[in-house]
Structure 1
Amino acid sequence: MDTWHIVRNTLSILCVLVSFLPFLDFKHWFFRIFDFVRLQLLALLVVLFISGLFFSSGSLFLGTLTQVLLVMAIAYQLVIIWPYLPFRKQSKDVPEKAITLISVNVLQKNTDHQKLVELVKTVQPDILLTMESNLEWEKALSEIEGDFGFSHKMPKENRYGMHLYSKLEVKSCQGHYLISEEHPSIEATLIDKNGTDFTFWGIHPPPPSPTEKPTSKQKDAELMKVAQLVREKKMPTLVSGDFNNVCWSKSSKLFSKVSKLKDARLGKGFYSTFPVKPKLFRFPIDLLFHSRDMEVHQIKTLPAIGSDHLPLFATFTITDTGHKTVKAIEPEVKQEVVSIIVEGKEAAQEEN
């Protein structure tokens, strides 16, 4: 067998193996990272499969086995990403009283503040959520603060600062440290343009990566804690932010199940936000979830502002203000959520 066949077969088997790694219930970043690159893995798997159709692998048995494994991995990846393909057209006619949102990780070290300032002036969102915003960013955003009637500021120098600006009336707003004192989140009760109360959450849990946290435990725990609080409150809710989690991951799906919120990307497209460059490696981690009594009319990314994340833009309305009865969560799911939160708090003591 020549070098080409050895390289292709080895790469094929490796790609197949890492495609299934996130299925395993391991929290270490090495296992979780392959959840993020499913789109790129799928493209590579397809290329490898097609190459196998045109070039002999030297061994009939090995070649056939490799092709079968590639088909299995391609099918598995397609099943996972299929719900996010853009089968539904987004609304072109947005209701007059729709609420507009920009959610953006500004990248703390990004000094090109004016790009975001100009973007906000152009788009004129009703809600602006910034993440990784420190005191320097807070000072720069004072230029647009007058356009908003309310602001809640939680500047930090550890890349987890957060600021919320709103043109909507605010009934209450508070910052939380749900799992760790390093990672804030913001909860606000706002009033929409029709006079209906709703809850807005801004979150930014830490990612599992070689340069951040060694496991996904803190991230998963914060998602579950927010999901619990959303479920208990039983009112129209929208959760946005840098989840450091792809929309198709098991933890995102569990977040949706526990909170009873819907992923705004379902049927609309990927709208990948990170990294800005290279575009080929981009995946969706700035997420948006909403309750069933809300409708997200538009979701899209906005032009780059010098950050490693693209801003996420959405328009939404509250469609039903009636009281909803939420069924009790299944005991096994409830226990799983409690365990995840406990693990996350323990990890915060060990990893921070």
Structure 2
Amino acid sequence: MEFTLILLGCIFTLFSFLPLISSPAWWIRVLDFPRLHVAVLLSIVMAAYVVSYELQEPLEYVMVAVWALAILNELRYIIHFTPLRRVEALRTEQAKPANAFTLMISNVRMVNNKYDKFLERVLQEDPDMVIMNEPNQSWHDNVCQVMDERYPYAIKKPLENTYGMLFWSKHKLHDSEIRYLVEEGIPSFYTVVELPGGNKFCLFTVHPQPPRLMLNTETREAELLLVAKEAKKAPYPAVVAGDLNDVAWSNTTKLFKETSGMIDPRVGRGFYNTYNAHVPIFRYPLDHVFYDPVFRLVSLRRLQKFGSDHFPMVITLNYEPQHEKEQEHPHADQEDKQEANELIQEGLEKGEERNQEKHHEQEKSE
């Protein structure tokens, strides 16, 4: 039993400190996700060891101290998404927000076929805009009649590779683009949304690749940071939304916020975990909305699941440029800018390499 506790403690300690390595290796970056789980499990192991065995040798005290540091290391990331931290995004003080819009974000899961359940959520919430990640042609064909009737504006790119994207809006769209920033077959959308009062904002929707077995994260980092830089220089206030395949507390997300100057409505409020809807014990905040400080938060909610492995999210923001300076937002220093540029360059090179591999595979199949 003692050996088992020591072994588990060492493994969880390694899980805690490995992500400190600045590397896109999938087996390192995937450990950004379970920080709460590692903290809880390591706390149980440490408590069990201290209660079951008297600490007598100096090495035992050192071991337990290292375990405690590993727990604190995990907590320093996730504590930002608890009420112990001051909220980053302020709520509107307007009783009836005059320039508000509601956005729904949903990874529908391509193989999920509960189209009616999804439409039920949309009709219940009646958002002004809907972002769908992972739709293929079947999803498009089964929801487009209802969606097109309710939403006169749309950008559509259904795909069979789990990276399709659909966007519907009640508000007028300008300069809409379907873009492939890093990898072929992985689109992102850009559009300028015009609110009923005439105010405009730039919307970026993204869904980069996640870290998974034998697939590192260079392209994910590059896509997110490219969007961050574009959002910072956008002609209108910006909103970035979608399934980022990254957790809210990762160093990549932190660098994204510093580069873009955007704020996160979850800071000081909660995790708002959206994945995995089917496995309650393993849930992480993968679906995100970041926005310019000219907006004030009206509401942020996680909706009921509908068959996908992601919960939908819905957020309502109000355009209040007169209060922009009242909200603190992150800034990038020179070191942050240099790191972002290096990660972008590394990701673009990896993306080009993957694109060439896909071309060679297509040529061989032909």
1:284 is displaced (CA, Å) by: 0.7
| Cα offsets for 1:310-336 (capped at 9, x unmatched) | 111111111106999x99964443332
Equivalence for 2:264: 263
1:228-307 counterparts in 2 under 5 A?
A: 228-307=229-308
Equivalence for 1:50: 47
The whole-number CA distance in structure 1 between the counterparts of 2:70 and 2:332 is 33
Amino acid at match of 2:21: L
1:207 to 206, 210, 224: 210
The whole-number CA distance in structure 1 between the counterparts of 2:51 and 2:331 is 55
Amino acid at match of 1:10: L
Cα distance change on mapping 1:120 and 1:328 into 2, 3 Å: closer
2:193 to 185, 190, 193: 190
Equivalence for 1:138: 140
1:1-352 counterparts in 2 under 5 A?
A: 4-56=1-53, 60-87=57-84, 95=97, 97-142=99-144, 143-210=146-213, 214-320=215-321, 330-351=333-354
1:58 is displaced (CA, Å) by: 7.4
Q: Tell me if the contact between 1:270 and 1:284 (Cα under 8 Å) persists in the aligned partners.
A: yes
SS of the aligned residue for 1:280 comes to: coil
Amino acid at match of 1:266: V
| Cα offsets for 1:26-67 (capped at 9, x unmatched) | 111100011011111111122122213321167633432232
Number of aligned residue pairs: 346
1:94 is displaced (CA, Å) by: 6.6
Amino acid at match of 1:111: N
SS of the aligned residue for 2:174 comes to: strand
SS of the aligned residue for 2:130 comes to: strand
Amino acid at match of 1:133: P
> TM-score, with normalisation over the residues of structure 1?
0.92
Q: How high is the sequence identity, in percent, across the aligned residues? A: 30
The whole-number CA distance in structure 2 between the counterparts of 1:319 and 1:229 is 22
Amino acid at match of 2:53: S
1:349 is displaced (CA, Å) by: 3.0
Amino acid at match of 2:105: S
CA RMSD of aligned residues (A): 2.4
The whole-number CA distance in structure 2 between the counterparts of 1:351 and 1:75 is 38
> TM-score, with normalisation over the residues of structure 2?
0.88
Q: Tell me if the contact between 2:258 and 2:336 (Cα under 8 Å) persists in the aligned partners.
A: no
| Cα offsets for 1:110-141 (capped at 9, x unmatched) | 11111101110111010100010111111111
The whole-number CA distance in structure 2 between the counterparts of 1:45 and 1:95 is 46
| Cα offsets for 1:146-175 (capped at 9, x unmatched) | 111211101111110000100112233111
| Unpaired stretches in structure 2, ≥5 consecutive residues | 356-366
Q: Tell me if the contact between 2:259 and 2:331 (Cα under 8 Å) persists in the aligned partners.
A: no
1:263 is displaced (CA, Å) by: 1.6
Q: Tell me if the contact between 1:236 and 1:318 (Cα under 8 Å) persists in the aligned partners.
A: no
1:345 is displaced (CA, Å) by: 1.7
Cα distance change on mapping 1:174 and 1:44 into 2, 3 Å: same
Amino acid at match of 2:249: W
Cα distance change on mapping 1:323 and 1:315 into 2, 3 Å: closer
Q: Tell me if the contact between 2:91 and 2:296 (Cα under 8 Å) persists in the aligned partners.
A: no
SS of the aligned residue for 2:124 comes to: helix
Cα distance change on mapping 1:56 and 1:94 into 2, 3 Å: farther
| Unpaired stretches in structure 1, ≥5 consecutive residues | none
